[in-house]
Amino acid sequence: MPCYEIDGLVPVVHPSAFVHPSAELIGDVWVGENVYVGPCASLRGDFGRLVLEAGSNLQDHCTMHGFPGADTVVEINGHIGHGAVLHGCRVRRNALVGMNAVVMDLAEVGEDSFVAAMAFVKAGLKVPPRSLLAGVPGKVVRELTAAELAWKIEGTATYHRLAQRCHASLHPVMARTLDDMDRPRWQAEDLRPLVQQRQDTD
């Protein structure tokens, strides 16, 4: 992975974490145990410190940054969806930030909470624990259900396993030039989108 020192600050990555080779880590970045960082993620620790605590994930094309002296933190088992932007904020333990959401400076996403895809969490907003926030600007919609929280926990566990799978088998190859659509598929885990689970119970 491309790692850059700035002002004597060098990124720190736990050996069990997986950081995709196309992700970039700059300066004061701390990646903890069993973390997954996806392709093209940008962690710019050139002003404030960036922390991914144990078991968290930061998916494809996510950005982490902050103002000087301000930490940007994803706590244990935090789950950050594709394309999200975190700037000088804190995502508490077991919280989820959806795809392409933005969480601004001094905002706090409470423990076990969800920020919906495309939502905007304005600067300084404190999202209560176990809440669903949606919209632009984001507003708390309701409390999360036990089924939604169970779905999130299992989804994050798949990223724990993905980090292990990547360590074990991900490597660069040349693409095949022949049609190979009949080849075996990866034996998918039994995890379906939340909307599909809701349809099954309706």
The model's confidence at residue 123, banded by pLDDT at 50, 70 and 90, is very high
Q: What is the overall mean pLDDT for the chain?
A: 93
Q: Is residue 99 part of a domain?
A: yes
CATH number of residue 8's parent domain = 2.160.10.10
Indicate the pairing of strand 57-58 with strand 126-127.
Answer: unpaired
Give the CA radius of gyration of the chain: 17
Torsion of CA 151, 154, 155, 156, to 10 degrees: 130
Indicate the pairing of strand 139-143 with strand 131-134.
Answer: antiparallel
Give the domain range for residue 70.
3-143
Task: Name the one residue in this structure whose structure tokens are 């996510």.
Answer: 62
**What own/partner pairs with CB < 8 Å and gap ≥ 24 does 33-38 have?**
34/160, 34/163, 35/163, 36/159, 36/160, 36/162, 36/163, 36/166, 38/62, 38/82
Q: Is residue 75 part of a domain?
A: yes
At 133-163, the pLDDT tens digits run 999 999 999 999 999 999 999 999 999 999 9
Please give the tally of structural domains in the chain.
1
The model's confidence at residue 189, banded by pLDDT at 50, 70 and 90, is confident
Q: What's residue 202's pLDDT?
A: 64
Number of other residues whose CB lies within 10 A of the CB of residue 191:
12
Q: What's residue 82's pLDDT?
A: 98
Structure-token pair, residue 171: 């490597």
Q: Is residue 149 part of a domain?
A: no
pLDDT at residue 192 above 90?
no
Q: Is residue 153 part of a domain?
A: no
CA distance linking residue 196 with residue 81, whole number of Å: 18
At 40-96, the pLDDT tens digits run 999 999 999 999 999 999 999 999 999 998 999 999 999 999 999 999 999 999 999
Q: Is residue 154 part of a domain?
A: no
Spatial contact of 1 and 25, defined as CB atoms under 8 Å apart? yes
pLDDT at residue 38 above 70?
yes
**What average pLDDT does the segment 186-190 reach?**
73
